[in-house]
Amino acid sequence: MKKAILLLSATLLAGCSSAPETPDCNCDNTPPPVTSQPVSDANKKAINALFAYIAKEAKKQWGDDEYVESSKHRYVKYLDGYQTRAHIDFEAGKIYVSTVAQRQPMEKLQKAIVQTVLMPADPKHVEQFTDKDIELTGKPFFLGQIVDQEGKSIEWEWRANRFADYLIDNKLQSKIIKRGKAYYVQIDMVKDHLEQREYQYAHYVRDASKRYDIPEDLIYAVIKTESSFNPYAVSHAGAYGLMQVIPKTAGADVFNLVKKKPGMPTKEYLFDPANNIDTGTAYLHILKTRYLRDVKNASSKHFSMISAYNGGTGGVLATFHNDRKQAMVALNRKSPRQVYDALTARHPKDEARRYLQKVLYFQKDFNEGKI
């Protein structure tokens, strides 16, 4: 089974991995394709096989009812033969560290707390799809987002160990589950945890905004919608990182049209926050200047870009007509309000309808200083 997991991981990592560079994009002069690029079935099958493997191993220890898996806004890392886990809810700002180990449960819980609060800011040092220990290296991701019992940030192992001891001595909880007894502690992030994560990536957002002529508030709103600033985010569709980029579609478009290089980004490449924000923003640039360049009204184009980021250009056009050329004509005949109403009420995908509403809501929040 371990060999199978290695093979699946290799499939997901296939492609080109290199540092981001300043684009030389002539997207404005290139006609849009007839159809959108399909999502890679191989990539989806591989990522879903990894999710299935984790589920199988974790359920042996936790049972079906207590199993929790990672999602776009939630990170779950299993440890210690899948008996112990860290569950991070980025939207709620809460962390749950739990164990069902029957031998030395407190020692295993203490170790897991330390690894969780000192989890590295660089996601490549955390193997999400195994039960291996978290490599404690570099700046902790939660620095500033978690404080100890004295109200101090946790950067060093000695302070993390002391905090873990405090939690076990004073905040330990337990419950009976089908597979035995579970012990856990809850860690609340600081009130402005979202802003703390936002600050970590502000310079990447600013640089990408200038590089691709995409508003900063839109980039922030997409990140908030896609992942709640969770750099470890991964979905069953095979989307990775802060802006939930799918390698075979948006990633390949950016590599080929903007970076002028063959292939597509790897999982490791997209887990790097700088690369992810660069790639996601570059894709918004492609939507604006290539696939949706014929949308005449600026507000209508803005709504269409956001919708297309989630549901594809084809989904946007299908909202207005089943023929792409006639769809563009129909779209341009409508007012921005009518375009918005159509995309939020008649888009073929329910998720895309809600997506446009969420991103615009978070854009407003950003401009009001709420994110």
pLDDT range class, residue 33, cuts 50, 70, 90:
very low
pLDDT range class, residue 39, cuts 50, 70, 90:
very low
Query: Does one domain contain both 168 and 281?
Result: no
pLDDT tens-digit profile of 120-175?
988 877 888 899 999 999 999 999 999 999 999 999 999 999 999 999 999 999 99
Secondary structure of 222-279 as H, E, C letters: HHHHHHCCCCCCECCCCCECCCCECHHHHHHHHHHHHCCCCCCECHHHHHCHHHHHHH
Output the pLDDT for position 40: 52
Query: Does one domain contain both 168 and 275?
Result: no
Query: Does one domain contain both 152 and 208?
Result: no
Residue 245 lies in a domain: yes
Among 165, 190, 215, the domain boundary falls at 190
Query: Does one domain contain both 137 and 207?
Result: no
Q: 8 or 60, which is more confident? A: 60
175 C-beta neighbours (distance < 10 Å), count:
10
pLDDT tens-digit profile of 279-288?
999 999 999 9
Q: Which two tokens stand for residue 247?
A: 């390698």
- Which candidate, 151, 157, 167, 154, places its Cα nearest to that of 136? 157
Output the pLDDT for position 96: 98
Residue 1 lies in a domain: no
Per-residue pLDDT averaged across 177-186, rounded? 92
CATH code of the domain in which 200 resides:
1.10.530.10
The boundaries of the domain holding residue 159 are 39-190
Query: Does one domain contain both 165 and 247?
Result: no
pTM here is 0.84
Query: Does one domain contain both 173 and 310?
Result: no
Residue 101 lies in a domain: yes
CB 213 within 8 A of CB 286: no
150 is catalytic: no
Residue 302 lies in a domain: yes
Residue 309 lies in a domain: yes
Mean pLDDT taken over the chain? 89
pLDDT range class, residue 15, cuts 50, 70, 90:
very low
Residue 14 lies in a domain: no
Query: Does one domain contain both 152 and 214?
Result: no
Query: Does one domain contain both 161 and 255?
Result: no
Question: How many structural domains compose the chain?
Answer: 2
Output the pLDDT for position 29: 36
Q: How far apart are the first and last CA of the chain?
A: 43
Out of 21, 57, 216, 226, the active site residue is: 226
Query: Does one domain contain both 186 and 57?
Result: yes
CB 7 within 8 A of CB 266: no
Q: Which two tokens stand for residue 190?
A: 């600081």
Residue 99 lies in a domain: yes
Query: Does one domain contain both 108 and 207?
Result: no
Query: Does one domain contain both 90 and 205?
Result: no
Query: Does one domain contain both 239 and 155?
Result: no
pLDDT range class, residue 207, cuts 50, 70, 90:
very high
- Please report, to the nearest 10 degrees, the dihedral formed by the alpha carbons of residues 57, 60, 63, 64 taken in order: 40
Residue 20 lies in a domain: no
Among 190, 212, 237, the domain boundary falls at 190
Among 170, 190, 210, the domain boundary falls at 190
